[in-house]
Amino acid sequence: MAIRYDANRDLVWLLYKPWIWIPRTIQILASLLTLAIRILIQGNSTDEEVHKKLSKRLLKTLTNLGPCFIKVGQALSTRPDLVRRDWLEELTNLQDNLPPFDHHEALKIIQNELGAPARQIFDEFPESPIASASLGQVYKARLQGNYWVAVKIQRPNLTYILRRDLVIIKTLCTISGPILPLNLGFKIGDIIDEFGRILFEEIDYALEANNAEKFANLFSKNPTIIVPKVERHVSTKKVITTSWIHGVKLRDRNELKKHSLDASALIRTGVTSGIQQLLEFGYFHADPHPGNMFALDGKTGDLGHLAYVDFGMMDSISEKDRITLTKAIVHLINKQFNLLALDFQKLGFLSESQELKPIVPVLEEVLGGALGEEVFEFNFKSITDKFSELMFDYPFRVPARFALIIRAVVSQEGLALRLNPDFKIVSVAYPYVAKRLLSAETKDMLELLLDVIFKADGSLDLERIESLLNIISKDSEGSQEKLLPVAEAGIKLLFSSNGYKLRRNLLLTLVKDEKLNTEDIKNLIKLLSKKFSISDIAKSMLKKPKYKLRTAI
């Protein structure tokens, strides 16, 4: 049975072994302090050669300190907005270009885990790995016939190394936390515990196999997302074998161009699938760095084809949180800061006892200023930067359950920025949310749609409706072919049993002060006719089963 992370158990375990933790603590402190001093002294240099040496020193330090520190470096390697580009190039080596462990040791693990030597199990097995990462190394082997597979083998003594280093890291961070200029929103110890929990799950390859199959099932009807097939008969807790992915890593725009791959289409697929995981499925890949995502040939519409690999770091988000996050995005875009404050409270970023009235103008000043006039100019980095400022002066806190969500979104945006420095994540995120709103597949989404298109007095909010349609139209590049599914979804909702509240509210707008008033409806029809071709919608609808109008209003 795989061991799970337990901070208290491991602390007691290590305290009784001073001959282990004392020299290791000295090694960690000496390495980090030496690196920090060099960066302080040389970090502002304009000499490129100096920075080249610093980046190599950073890479070497993190590599020598082992898996826990390598994981931190991997997270930094996806943030071109936080790390110098020349340093970034070095840090990408932490994703899958680390020194491999001994090949004979890998063969021993295969024999112990699978019950036979590699030469008996595989038709062809190489003498060296094709990639080596923080927790394991990967071999490209031939299983049978011309069927190539990726065989990932876990590094030796990994459980011991992680237990030891996590205790030391948590202790050092807890001691130094109060004197560091940090206000992370939750205790530093909680961050380490969350990090430890995920790492221990990541080294259980049986769990990873389950994750991969669950992820594949969620995207089974999506031709743009490919997930390798797990070969269960040659997989265990320390060895996992999957079908081989023939693709290009999402590291460099020029490399993608060389293979005639559309970087913008691939970014759109990556971000759309990431948002779908968070807001629709509630189950997401928490480590979407360039080493775990491959660009494949082909396109479906304006979306490129992507393959995800390495499903050790996964997490879930509750349906309640998904709905509230969706509302928060809509309320932010619509600048409804009173509702946004309430969303933050529901998500746990503000305590339940917190008086929201003084918070609303703060949100309006800080986030409203970052949002500006153009929705598509807003990015997640703007949000995180502004929240960093807010946390020092106001009672905002980041709930522990959002640590991996934030990491996943930041990594996803960082990857996109690496391929396109001008990328804005909201330019993809909000059109996706807007389209989901118009289809209103759930009761919560319908309630949110009603909040968007109707004012408090029950009249239509034509300005907000136009804004919503503009965003969808811009995302669809004005193409009627791309807009048709959106229009059809809206009509289907209107005539469905779920749309009775929408029909009722539309009928109520016809009556004002006990008089018939058709002005709002006329303006709505005029607005819709600008965005959608009525004749194209009618032709499309005639080809499909007719929608029956429900009488309940």
Lowest mean pLDDT among 214-223, 294-303, 310-319, 363-372: 363-372
> What is the C-alpha to C-alpha distance for residues 399 and 363, in angstroms, rounded to an integer?
18
pLDDT surpassing 70 at residue 221: yes
* 223-228 mean pLDDT: 96
pLDDT band with cut points at 50, 70 and 90 for residue 533: low
Instruction: Using a cut of 0.85, tell me whether the model's pTM lies above it.
Output: no
Least Cα distance to 285 among 315, 245, 240 occurs for: 315
Q: Please report the pLDDT score of residue 494 as a whole number.
A: 78
> What is the C-alpha to C-alpha distance for residues 336 and 452, in angstroms, rounded to an integer?
10
pLDDT band with cut points at 50, 70 and 90 for residue 442: confident
Q: Please report the pLDDT score of residue 85 as a whole number.
A: 66
Structure tokens at 92: 């990408």
Are 426 and 379 in contact, with CB atoms under 8 Å apart? yes
What is the separation of C-alpha 125 from the centre of its chain, rounded to a whole number of angstroms?
A: 34
What is the separation of C-alpha 222 from the centre of its chain, rounded to a whole number of angstroms?
A: 18
Q: Please report the pLDDT score of residue 107 as a whole number.
A: 96
CB count, 10 Å around CB of 185?
Answer: 21
Q: What percent of the chain has pLDDT over 90?
A: 32
Residue type, 398: V
Residues in the chain: 553
Lowest mean pLDDT among 92-101, 290-299, 462-471, 483-492: 483-492
pLDDT band with cut points at 50, 70 and 90 for residue 551: very low
pLDDT surpassing 50 at residue 185: no
Give residue limits of the domains in the chain: 7-96, 440-542
> What is the C-alpha to C-alpha distance for residues 232 and 446, in angstroms, rounded to an integer?
42
Q: Please report the pLDDT score of residue 539 as a whole number.
A: 59
pLDDT band with cut points at 50, 70 and 90 for residue 480: low
Please tell me the number of Cα atoms within 13 Å of 450 on its side-chain side: 21
> What is the C-alpha to C-alpha distance for residues 1 and 480, in angstroms, rounded to an integer?
56
Q: Please give the mean pLDDT across all residues of the chain.
A: 82
3-state secondary structure of 49: helix
Structure tokens at 354: 């917190």
pLDDT band with cut points at 50, 70 and 90 for residue 547: very low
Report how far apart, in Å, the C-alpha atoms of 291 and of each of 86, 452, 498 are: 18, 40, 43
Q: Kindly report, residue by residue over 79-101, the tens digit of the pLDDT.
A: 555 567 677 777 777 766 788 99
**For the CA atoms of the chain, what is the radius of gyration?**
26
**Catalytic residue from among 10, 96, 165, 287:** 287
Q: What is the DSSP code (8-state) at residue 547?
A: P
Q: Please report the pLDDT score of residue 535 as a whole number.
A: 64
Question: Catalytic: 287?
Answer: yes
pLDDT surpassing 60 at residue 377: no
Per-residue b/e over 74-94, b at no fewer than 16 CB within 10 Å?
bbbbbbbeebeeebbbbbbbb
**Helix (H) and strand (E) counts for the chain?**
25, 12
Burial (CB count <10 Å: 0-12, 13-18, 19+), residue 57: middle
Are 427 and 376 in contact, with CB atoms under 8 Å apart? yes
